[in-house]
Structure 1
Amino acid sequence: MTRTNKQVLFIQGGGDKQDYEADKQLVDSLQAGLGKAYSLHYPRLPTESTPDFGRMKQIGREISRMAGGLILVGHSLGASMLLKYCSENEVRKEVSALFLISTPFWSGDEDWKDGFKLREDFAETLPKNVSIFFYHCRDDEEVPFDHLAMYKQQIPWATFREIDNGGHQLNNDLRIVANDILSV
Structure 2
Amino acid sequence: MKKTVLFIHSAGPQGPNEGSSNLIAYLEKELSDSYRLITPEMPAPEEPKYDQWKHQLEKEINKLHGEVIVIGHSLGGSVLLKYLSEQACKLTIRGMFILASPYWGLDDEWQLNDFILPHHFAENLPPIANVFLYHSRNEKIVPFIHHQAYAKKLPQATLRQIEGDRHLFHDGLVELVDDIKGL
Instruction: Give the TM-score normalised by the residue count of structure 1.
Output: 0.88
Over the matched positions of the two proteins, sequence identity in percent amounts to 34
Residues 19, 75 of structure 1: alpha-carbon distance in 2 compared, 3 angstrom cutoff: farther
Write the distance in 1 (CA, Å) between the matches of 2:145 and 2:167.
Answer: 13
Q: 1:50 to 1:24 in 2, by over 3 A?
A: closer
User: Are 1:24 and 2:21 counterparts?
Assistant: yes
Structure in which a larger fraction of residues adopt helix: 1
How do residues 149-168 of structure 1 correspond to structure 2 at under 5 angstroms? 149-168=148-167
Paired residue secondary structure (2:135): strand
Matched residues, number: 181
Q: Does 1:45 align with 2:42?
A: yes
Residues 60 and 183 of structure 1: CA distance in aligned 2, closer, same or farther (over 3 Å): same
Q: Is the 8 A contact 2:98 2:133 kept in 1?
A: yes
The offset of 1:19, in angstroms, is 8.8
Deviation at 1:131, TM superposition (A): 1.2
Output aligned runs, 1:7-22, within 5 Å. 7-18=4-15, 21-22=18-19
Tell me if structure 2 keeps the 8 A contact 1:75–1:101.
yes
In 2, Cα distance between equivalents of 1:72 and 1:44: 15
Q: CA RMSD in A?
A: 2.3
User: Where does the alignment leave 5 or more consecutive residues of structure 1 unmatched?
Assistant: none
Query: Which residue does the alignment assign to 2:143?
Result: 144
Query: Which amino acid in structure 2 is aligned with residue 100 of structure 1?
Result: I
Indicate if the aligned counterparts of 1:87 and 1:125 stay in contact, CA closer than 8 A.
Answer: yes
Deviates more, 1:168-177 or 1:112-121: 168-177
TM-score (norm 2): 0.89
Alpha-carbon contact 2:140-2:165 (below 8 Å) kept: no
Shift of the alpha carbon at 1:34?
2.0
Q: 1:71 aligns with which of 69, 77, 83?
A: 69
